Amino acid sequence: MGGASLATGALKTLRTNVVGVGLKAKPTIDRKTLNLSADEAINLERQIEKEFSLWADNTACDLQGIDNFAELQQLVFLNWLLSGDVIVLLPTTKRANMPYDLRINLIESDRVSNPNNNEFEKNIIGGIEVNDAGEVIAYHISKHHPHAFLNNSETPEWIKVDAIGKKTGRKNVLHIMNRERIGQLRGVPLLAPVIEDLKQLGRYTSAELMAAVVTGFLTVFIEKENSSNEPAIGEVVPDEFQVDASDKNSIELGNGAIVDLAPGEKANPVNPNRPNTAFDGFVTSMCRQIGAALEIPYEILLKHFSSSYSASRGALLEFWKTVNMYRSWLAADFCQPIYEEWLAEAVAKGRIKAPGFFSDPLIRKAYSGCEWNGPTNGQLDPLKEVNAAEKRVLNGFSNRTKETVELTGGDFYNNIEKLIQEETAIKTVQDIKDGANEK
């Protein structure tokens, strides 16, 4: 119980802080390489951003048609932490009212395995096929989950998917994982190093909870010095306190239960000393160790900030290093490759004008630049955070577009347009008032 809730909290805490409502794409083309003026670059970036939103904000980007791109980011990241890796296929299909054919097909990592579950298949390890040089060349994906129900007439089947298209050189598969050892081909779940600690912590929590419940069910035993012909009080114990309703001598502990004793018998009082005063300190100590292994400060892990402002901010800053690391990995391994595949389709269909895109890899790279911004870290003092953002912009350490996304999740240029509209409306109202006063 306790271990499961702590594990769930760790995974979702990372998911919420790393991805949040989704990493926002901000095209940043290299205008010097492309010989574009500043205005031309800004206009092209805004056009690319609008076209990408047309595809990414629509559930049509998902092969299943369920999630948009931001929601798929959350799903990929959570499964990456939970299972260790995620396989992403990039098929193309036609859909009504959607000019783009690129689709995202997520494959659960359990489905990637050796054909016929043969662990001794040459050059295939965990469903990933490599050549003699160790280069990944193909993935073997089962049509069904290993624990899925199969009809008697069905037999397990595997599909071989080339990692790179032989004719196009296009990536057919994105493998989202974090390697910790040289030569590693499959990922390791985030909770693997602490799974035993979480399991034992769950058992301990359940035992303490049960002990506290039993404490509330203490039963009163009545001892008589002399025999009596009257029915014992214990004989009228309700059925819900009996382990076996057919056996009147079997009695459970219950709220306010009174159990009779035979003459000469004596009940010794039991004091279970619950709740255990050392429980909170022990659990906190375990959470510190688990948090250290997961790179999540225990204040963040438990959502409990009881220290000073400096200590709490220190924990947030330390945690933000972990968040930035995971966010960079997710953007590099999932968001950016898919963005580049989408952009290639947009240019091929003529919706984005990008001369030289397919003829020169350097020009293609210049057009494909993109920043991926997510939610900012927690703000203990919003005024200080705004002042810090302002100084970063003034000193050239950052820009208004990035700071706007990280502070509020908004768009700087949209904000400017809204401000102009608001100021115009206010000025119009003021002019009307001034004209009325003159009359």
Question: Which of 131-135, 249-253, 355-359 is predicted with the least confidence, judged by mean pLDDT?
Answer: 249-253
Q: In which band, very low, low, confident or very high, does the pLDDT at 264 lie, cut at 50, 70 and 90?
A: low
Tell me, yes or no, whether 51 and 170 share the same domain. yes
> Does residue 99 register a pLDDT over 70?
yes
pLDDT digits (tens, 9 = 90+) for 171-220: 899 999 998 889 889 999 999 989 888 888 888 888 888 877 777 766 66
Tell me, yes or no, whether 351 and 437 share the same domain. no
Distance between CA atoms of 127 and 118, rounded to whole angstroms?
10
Q: In which band, very low, low, confident or very high, does the pLDDT at 5 lie, cut at 50, 70 and 90?
A: confident
Give yes or no for a contact between 7 and 286, defined as CB atoms under 8 angstroms apart: no
Residue 325 within any structural domain of the chain = yes
Residue 396 within any structural domain of the chain = yes
Highest mean pLDDT among 145-154, 304-313, 368-377: 368-377
pLDDT digits (tens, 9 = 90+) for 377-388: 766 677 888 888
Helix (H) or strand (E) holding 302: helix 298-302
Tell me, yes or no, whether 115 and 159 share the same domain. yes
Residue 222 within any structural domain of the chain = no
Helix (H) or strand (E) holding 316: helix 309-330
Question: Which of 209-213, 396-400, 425-429 is predicted with the least confidence, judged by mean pLDDT?
Answer: 209-213
Tell me, yes or no, whether 40 and 102 share the same domain. yes
Number of structural domains in the chain: 2
Distance between CA atoms of 344 and 249, rounded to whole angstroms?
79
Tell me the three state secondary structure of residue 333.
helix
> Does residue 275 register a pLDDT over 80?
no
Q: In which band, very low, low, confident or very high, does the pLDDT at 66 lie, cut at 50, 70 and 90?
A: very high
Tell me, yes or no, whether 67 and 84 share the same domain. yes
Distance between CA atoms of 421 and 429, rounded to whole angstroms?
12
Distance between CA atoms of 185 and 267, rounded to whole angstroms?
64
Tell me, yes or no, whether 360 and 382 share the same domain. no
Domain boundary, last residue among 328, 346, 377 = 377
> Does residue 54 register a pLDDT over 90?
yes
Domain boundary, last residue among 323, 347, 377 = 377
Q: What pTM was estimated for this model as a whole?
A: 0.78
pLDDT for the residue numbered 220: 61
Residue 297 within any structural domain of the chain = no
Tell me, yes or no, whether 340 and 435 share the same domain. no
Domain boundary, last residue among 331, 354, 377 = 377
> 119: closest CA among 127, 130, 111?
127
How much of the chain, in percent, has pLDDT values that exceed 90? 36
Residue 359 within any structural domain of the chain = yes
Indicate the length of the chain as a whole number: 439
Tell me, yes or no, whether 107 and 64 share the same domain. yes
Tell me, yes or no, whether 12 and 67 share the same domain. yes
Residue 53 within any structural domain of the chain = yes
Tell me, yes or no, whether 345 and 382 share the same domain. no
Q: In which band, very low, low, confident or very high, does the pLDDT at 418 lie, cut at 50, 70 and 90?
A: confident
Q: In which band, very low, low, confident or very high, does the pLDDT at 272 lie, cut at 50, 70 and 90?
A: low
Residue 336 within any structural domain of the chain = yes
Give yes or no for a contact between 435 and 429, defined as CB atoms under 8 angstroms apart: no
pLDDT for the residue numbered 186: 92
Cα(first)–Cα(last) distance of the chain, in Å? Answer: 75
Distance between CA atoms of 190 and 10, rounded to whole angstroms?
9
> Does residue 369 register a pLDDT over 90?
yes
Question: Which of 291-300, 301-310, 349-358, 420-429 is predicted with the least confidence, judged by mean pLDDT?
Answer: 301-310
Distance between CA atoms of 35 and 17, rounded to whole angstroms?
38
Mean pLDDT of the chain: 84
Tell me the three state secondary structure of residue 138.
strand
Q: In which band, very low, low, confident or very high, does the pLDDT at 271 lie, cut at 50, 70 and 90?
A: low
Residue 214 within any structural domain of the chain = no
Tell me, yes or no, whether 79 and 181 share the same domain. yes
> Does residue 232 register a pLDDT over 60?
no
Q: In which band, very low, low, confident or very high, does the pLDDT at 53 lie, cut at 50, 70 and 90?
A: very high
How distant, in Å, are the alpha carbons of 29, 342, 369, 399 from that of 49? 11, 12, 12, 18
The parent domain of residue 155 ranges over: 2-192+310-377
Tell me, yes or no, whether 436 and 339 share the same domain. no
> 162: closest CA among 149, 172, 177?
172
β-pairing, 136-142 with 158-162? antiparallel
